[in-house]
Amino acid sequence: MPVKSIKNWLFGGDEKKAKRSEKPVPREFKPDLKRLKPYGDHIGDGALQLSFTLPLPPSAEAKEAARLYAENLGLERVNVACAEAIGSSFTFFVVYGFSPSTIDVTRIKVRHPPFENLDYETLLVLAKEKIGRKIVVVGATTGSDAHTVGIDAILNRKGYAGDFGLEYYPCFQVVNLRAQVENADLVRKAVELKADALLVSKLVTQQDQHLKDLKDLLKLLKQEKGLSPNLLKIAGGPRITHPIATKLGFDAGFGTGTSPAEVASFIVQEMSKRMKR
């Protein structure tokens, strides 16, 4: 439908009214970073959308329980927009509300893996000059985790979002063990191939199973004497951050949205540093 027709349909043929209703977009908006609030209908209104499940059968009482729970979280003017049954004993809710809370963004400091994101040619030159051989990278999704999307995106040649995976780089020898690999098998493979870098992807996070699996892997790595003393240990997944990974004992952690080029850059630069020691 042409724009003119849409305006006629919305405003009963009064295009002047349509034009009056169009609010100009500000050319430049500078948020208050010291007192930042969520944005809904207008800047700084604090509007939030939450979804959650209560172990209650659908009823007016369950809906009121959801509203009161949201209020207990500090939300104001709460509206329960959706209440859908999940079986006979659970109800899924979507609620809207407004939060008076603000956040001072200027005080936030996030730790990231220490590396510079290199372009393809620069990375290859650095690998040749500082390392001078193929870098052996072994990756897997461990335990009962059957998801391979993350590890495949980083390691497979096709990569994702137009960014080629590590198999595309001639400086890497990549072995992707894929999913449901036992920690002991991963360690044995790393010893067999004389791995320079170990990449572990974890997606299943119920009851912090990903953290338990990663801790168990680190215990096995510490006990194994046949590994390279410079082995890079890298963890990744939607619930993994660099601070979480390093606190566990990994060298780096990469979360959602990480590109293969970032992982490649980190491995080459960190290996270059360690080979100087």
CA 1 to chain centre: 39
CA distance 106 to 89: 45
Low pLDDT (below 50) residues in the chain = 1-12, 15, 17-18, 21
Q: What is the pLDDT of residue 27?
A: 61
Q: Residue 77 belongs to what domain range?
A: 27-98
Is 172 in the same domain as 270?
yes
pTM: 0.70
Q: What is the pLDDT of residue 54?
A: 97
CATH of the domain at 185: 3.40.50.280
Selection from 251, 258, 233, 243 nearest residue 149 by Cα = 258
Is 173 in the same domain as 211?
yes
Identified catalytic residue from 158, 215, 222, 247: 158
Predicted confidence (pLDDT) per residue in 63-106, tens digit:
999 999 999 999 999 999 999 999 889 999 999 999 999 999 99
Scored b (16 or more CB within 10 A) or e, 117-152 reads ebeeeebbebbeeebeeebbbbbbbbbebebbebbb
Q: Considering the chain, what percentage of its residues have pLDDT values greater than 70?
A: 89
Is 80 in the same domain as 187?
no
Is 185 in the same domain as 235?
yes
In a domain, 167, yes or no: yes
Is 54 in the same domain as 135?
no
In a domain, 183, yes or no: yes
Cα dist. 193→100, 234, 246, 264, 273 in Å? 56, 17, 25, 19, 22
Q: What domain count does the chain have?
A: 2
Q: What is the pLDDT of residue 26?
A: 57
Is 86 in the same domain as 209?
no
Q: Is 158 annotated as catalytic? A: yes
Is 140 in the same domain as 229?
yes
CATH of the domain at 55: 3.30.30.60
